[in-house]
């Protein structure tokens, strides 16, 4: 595939280069496509789009409504809406009668792949190797390697751009005590991100332990529970949180995922932002109420003929250390109950780590820009309200900027990885890059007023003219 469209001169700077094609940059590409004067290209080292393939468990749903697709909350008339995907697949009427507000993960993945397969300007099997600023030309240089079908280097390339959008997403997180087990060959310890690849062996293991009390841990535990014999479940589910707690899903609680809260959070001091980041876990790390109910229903069903299922669910537990017993594949977990202060050991045949994800470090991709990057007190890149990294004036003065997607939780808050804000963030970036406001955004999005500072309100909607009363006989 030619990495440059026919109308583009190879040495001419592009308007925008996207690094990574996950949902965030796919949203950006979909909203950029109608802007015909914007020269944008996106690079991704994977061979095709896939969204958490190891967790596309049958029946698992996305935790945001289908309106939180790639574009709808900014441009509901876009060609790339989820509803238009259904129309193209001749599934709009079945979806209408299904009356689903939250779609299955597999369907969201299929929708995103449909967009990726039909959207121009996306280049898979392109690994970005380096980004530099060229002060002589006042542009960024982006070096990449084109990969063949086996993932081997096929050709080298370089493109130039005034703007870069880094959307490289997150990676599975493994706690330190469990890293030696994950890295050891042959030990049955896997991250939930790879659950479906190991599902069959996990179902046949004598005893399985799930570590992690968030949505992924709940979904993995429920799937294992449903597919193991009644009375011989042999399952443990452990979590650090004090309870297997539901995710905050009240209507006003959800307003933490609005642009209003994002702007409020960004304006706070760094120390306050960091403190809030540790207290708002139930906004995004809790379990969906439906999943909790399904687990309880399944457990209850297994008591109908007497006895209790052989399943142990224990919150408030941390794994201190872990190891393998002698030369066997049996895993021993050393546990501590946080509230009791007690310790114990648990032997198990397999472990699924539903321990979440962390933002991929930007350091490797942006190493060439390190002299220009401004960082906070904890050496994290600073980002302004428009999602631009704080760079030296010698770069920004040349009207060159680096934007980030899903790498700014420390500056923009709990909504940074939320799919419901992807379209709004993409539109904010495009409005800033073009300077033409192609996607007008609402001034207010929440009933909650975050903070005491006054802000302008949207003018009240124009009222419809009053109806003239009918006079009998006229």
Adjacent-strand bridge partners of 147: 153
Residue 83 CA to residue 207 CA, distance in Å, equals 43
Kind and range of the H or E run holding 441: none
- Global pTM reads 0.92
* Residue 114, φ and ψ in degrees, nearest 5: -60, -45
Please tell me the CATH superfamily of domain 175-247+285-357, with its number.
FAD/NAD(P)-binding domain (3.50.50.60)
SS3 393: helix
- DSSP assignment of 147-211 equals E-TTS-EEEEEEEEESEEEE---EEE---GGGHHHHHSTT--EEEGGGHHHHHHHHHHSS-EEEE
> Which structure tokens are listed for 371?
């002299």
Are 16-169+360-434 and 175-247+285-357 the same fold in CATH?
A: yes
Please tell me the CATH superfamily of domain 16-169+360-434, with its number.
FAD/NAD(P)-binding domain (3.50.50.60)
Q: Distance from first CA to last CA of the chain, Å, rounded?
A: 74
| Boundaries of every domain in the chain | 16-169+360-434, 175-247+285-357
> One digit per residue, pLDDT tens: the chain, 474 residues?
344 444 567 689 999 999 999 999 999 999 999 999 999 999 999 999 999 999 999 999 999 999 999 999 999 999 999 999 999 999 999 999 999 999 999 999 999 999 999 999 999 999 999 999 999 999 999 999 999 999 999 999 999 999 999 999 999 999 998 888 888 777 799 999 999 999 999 999 999 999 999 999 999 999 999 999 999 999 999 999 999 999 888 999 999 999 999 999 999 999 999 999 888 877 878 899 999 999 999 999 999 988 999 999 999 999 999 988 877 789 999 999 999 999 999 999 999 999 999 999 999 999 999 999 999 999 999 999 999 999 999 999 999 999 999 999 999 999 999 999 999 999 999 999 999 999 999 999 999 999 997 655 544 444 444 443 444 343
201-207's contacts with Cβ under 8 Å and 24+ in sequence apart are 201/350, 202/350, 202/352, 203/227, 203/228, 205/349, 205/350, 206/234, 206/349, 207/234, 207/235, 207/236, 207/347, 207/348, 207/349, 207/350
> Which structure tokens are listed for 317?
């537990």
The beta-strand segments (E) located in 273-330 are: 311-314, 317-324
SS3 319: strand
Residue 11 CA to residue 27 CA, distance in Å, equals 27
């Amino acid at each position: 595939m030619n990495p440059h469209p026919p109308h583009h001169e190879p040495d001419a700077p592009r308007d925008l280069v996207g690094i990574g094609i996950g949902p965030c940059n796919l949203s950006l590409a979909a909203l950029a496509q109608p802007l015909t004067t914007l020269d944008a290209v996106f690079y991704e080292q994977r061979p095709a789009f896939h969204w958490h393939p190891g967790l596309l468990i049958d029946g698992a749903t996305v935790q945001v409504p289908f309106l939180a697709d790639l574009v709808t909350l900014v441009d509901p008339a876009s060609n790339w809406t989820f509803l238009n995907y259904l129309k193209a697949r001749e599934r709009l009427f079945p979806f209408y009668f299904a009356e689903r507000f939250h779609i299955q993960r597999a369907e969201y993945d299929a929708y995103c792949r449909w967009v990726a397969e039909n959207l121009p300007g996306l280049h898979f099997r392109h690994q970005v190797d380096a980004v530099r600023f060229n002060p002589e030309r006042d542009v960024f240089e982006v070096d990449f390697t084109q990969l063949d079908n086996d993932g081997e280097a096929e050709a080298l390339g370089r493109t130039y751009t005034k703007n870069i959008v880094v959307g490289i997403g997150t990676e599975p997180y493994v706690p330190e005590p469990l890293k030696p087990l994950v890295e050891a060959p042959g030990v049955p310890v896997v991250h939930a991100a790879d659950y479906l690849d190991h599902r069959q062996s996990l179902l046949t293991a004598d005893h399985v332990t799930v570590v992690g009390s968030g949505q992924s841990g709940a979904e993995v535990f429920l799937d294992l529970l449903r597919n193991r014999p009644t009375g011989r479940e042999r399952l443990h589910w452990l979590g650090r949180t004090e309870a297997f707690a539901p995710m905050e899903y009240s209507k006003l609680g959800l307003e933490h995922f609005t642009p209003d809260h994002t702007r409020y959070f960004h304006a706070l001091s760094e120390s306050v932002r960091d403190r809030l980041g540790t207290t708002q876990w139930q906004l995004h790390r809790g379990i969906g109420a439906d999943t909790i109910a399904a687990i309880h229903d399944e457990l209850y069903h297994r008591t109908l003929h007497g006895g209790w299922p052989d399943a142990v669910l224990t919150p408030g537990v941390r794994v201190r250390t872990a190891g393998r017993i002698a030369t066997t594949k049996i895993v021993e977990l050393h546990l501590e109950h946080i509230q009791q202060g007690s310790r114990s050991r648990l032997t198990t045949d397999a472990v699924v780590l539903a321990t979440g994800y962390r933002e991929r470090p930007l350091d490797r991709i942006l190493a060439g820009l390190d002299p220009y990057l401004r960082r906070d007190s904890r050496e994290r890149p600073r980002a302004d309200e428009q999602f631009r990294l704080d760079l030296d004036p010698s770069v920004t003065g040349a009207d060159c900027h680096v934007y980030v997607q899903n790498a700014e939780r420390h500056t923009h808050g709990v909504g940074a990885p939320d799919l419901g804000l992807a379209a709004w963030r993409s539109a904010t970036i495009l409005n800033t890059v073009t300077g033409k406001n192609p996607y007008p955004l609402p001034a207010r999005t929440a009933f909650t007023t975050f903070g005491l500072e006054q802000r302008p309100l949207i003018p009240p909607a124009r009222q419809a003219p009053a109806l003239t009363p009918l006079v009998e006989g006229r």
